[in-house]
């Protein structure tokens, strides 16, 4: 973060003048229309910078109005600057920070709004904001790692499909015409290749249609319970990948619980907020059941989580320890760090394994086509064709 000159902000009045109020309200209405049009683009990267910088400025004693003005000045996106201007004006108008942020419910989650409210009520707002910034920084890091792991196989699969399609559609027909003119009986492997070549357009259009269908299904049904239940169960059956996905969401669970327990949030409220933030069906359902048992039956959290296989025994044991020694924040922090380290290691291993596997698969596809095409030539050279 660049060094900030606070002197130019110290001369400004912290309260808006009566003359400027109508103009500010009119301008805010216009900004509100613009922000709603682009609000989805205020994603994890922007939130990480916003929360981290706001928490840092407030911890150094800068007042909230000045802090927003400093952050606004650094914003290059006009829509994002307009959003912060709206929130700042709402705060100056007498609203609390969480109320001002809550006016943009499509942009800020219930978890964020409630966390800010907790920070205001407990006097730990700078710390809570920094934790929110750390949360989104961790989310960005995980997303980049996943993208890095998946980029190579996606590129290889795409190239393999294009190469196979080109060979079946343009190369194989040329050889097929040559072989047909010889009048000899083609090997079974070559006949199979020619049949595939004749139906190459149908095969690849069907493949493209299936991929498009899955994409449309995901876009239209991704929020439906049946879809989330089915896809999460399917992912948990994939070797290696299932453990990685489980650790990613357990790391998010631990990080969120660390923030909430550190702010002394009641366990039932904390579980509600975690469910809103995790967005992973198996953990959501487990936490729903756990909340019911904790609130209605008086069970401890570790006792409720122990009955759900999505939570490893080690995690449950450490949560039990945290409840016994009354140090949940420390335990959740250690668990988050441990899971994050394991995720990085496992992603690196998967990345190294994927490369040779896909090279072999690509080689098998191309090798099959080459062998099928050249097999008649070998037979002609031996006189058996």
Cα–Cα distance for residue pair 82/27, rounded to 1 Å = 10
Helix axes 64-74, 44-59, angle to 10 degrees: 140
Cα separations (Å) of 179 from 136, 171, 182, 298, 365? Answer: 61, 13, 5, 79, 21
DSSP per-residue string spanning 163-185: HHHHIIIIIHHHHHHHHHHH-PP
- Asked whether the beta carbons of 135 and 256 are under 8 A apart, the reply is yes
Q: What are phi and psi of 59, to 5 degrees?
A: -70, -20
Give the model's pLDDT for residue 33. 43
* Structure confidence by residue, pLDDT tens digits, 211-226: 899 999 988 988 888 8
The secondary structure of the chain in percent helix, strand, coil, rounded to multiples of 5, reads 80, 0, 20
Instruction: Output the pLDDT for position 18.
Output: 38
pLDDT, tens digit, for every residue of 332-384? 989 988 988 888 888 778 777 777 887 888 788 878 888 888 887 776 666 55
pLDDT band at 100 (very low <50, low <70, confident <90, very high): very high
How do residues 34-90 score in pLDDT, each as one tens digit?
Answer: 444 444 467 888 888 899 999 999 999 889 999 999 998 888 888 888 999 999 999
Q: What is the pLDDT of residue 145?
A: 67
Question: Do 172 and 375 contact (CB within 8 A), yes or no?
Answer: no
Phi then psi for residue 195, to 5 deg, are -65, -40
Q: Which residue has the higher pLDDT, 301 or 152?
A: 301
| pTM (predicted TM-score) | 0.68
Interacting residues of 288 by C-beta distance below 8 A, sequence separation 6+: 275
Provide mean pLDDT across the span 318-336.
89
């Amino acid at each position: 973060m660049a060094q900030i000159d606070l002197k130019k902000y110290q001369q400004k009045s912290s309260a808006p003048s009566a003359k400027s109020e109508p103009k500010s309200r009119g301008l805010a209405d216009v900004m509100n229309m613009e922000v709603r049009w682009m609000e989805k683009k205020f994603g994890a990267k922007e939130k990480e910078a916003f929360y981290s910088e706001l928490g840092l400025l407030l911890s150094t004693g800068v007042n909230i109005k000045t802090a927003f003005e400093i952050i606004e000045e650094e914003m290059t996106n006009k829509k994002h600057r307009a959003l912060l201007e709206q929130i700042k004006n709402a705060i100056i108008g007498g609203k609390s920070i969480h109320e001002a942020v809550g006016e943009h419910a499509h942009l800020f989650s219930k978890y964020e709004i409630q966390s800010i409210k907790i920070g205001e009520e407990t006097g730990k707002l700078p710390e809570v904001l920094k934790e929110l910034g750390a949360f989104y920084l961790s989310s960005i890091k995980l997303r980049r790692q996943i993208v890095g792991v998946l980029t190579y196989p996606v590129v290889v699969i795409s190239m393999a499909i294009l190469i196979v399609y080109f060979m079946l559609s343009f190369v194989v027909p040329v050889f097929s015409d040559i072989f047909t003119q010889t009048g000899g009986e083609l090997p079974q492997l070559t006949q199979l290749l020619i049949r595939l070549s004749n139906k190459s357009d149908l095969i690849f259009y069907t493949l493209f249609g299936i991929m498009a269908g899955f994409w449309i299904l995901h876009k239209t049904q991704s929020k439906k319970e049946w879809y989330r239940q089915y896809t999460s169960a399917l992912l948990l059956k994939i070797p290696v990948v299932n453990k990685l996905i489980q650790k990613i969401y357990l790391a998010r669970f631990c990080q969120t619980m660390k923030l909430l327990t550190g702010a002394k949030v009641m366990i039932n409220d904390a579980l509600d907020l975690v469910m809103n933030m995790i967005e992973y069906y198996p953990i959501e359902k487990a936490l729903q059941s756990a909340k019911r048992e904790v609130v209605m039956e008086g069970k401890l959290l570790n006792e409720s989580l122990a009955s759900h296989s999505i939570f490893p025994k080690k995690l449950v044991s450490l949560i039990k320890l945290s409840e016994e020694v009354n140090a949940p924040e420390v335990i959740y922090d250690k668990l988050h760090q441990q899971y994050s380290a394991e995720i990085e290691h496992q992603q690196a291993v998967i990345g190294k394994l994927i490369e040779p596997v896909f090279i072999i698969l690509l080689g098998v596809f191309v090798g099959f086509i080459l062998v099928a095409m050249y097999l008649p030539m070998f037979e002609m050279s031996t006189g058996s064709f």
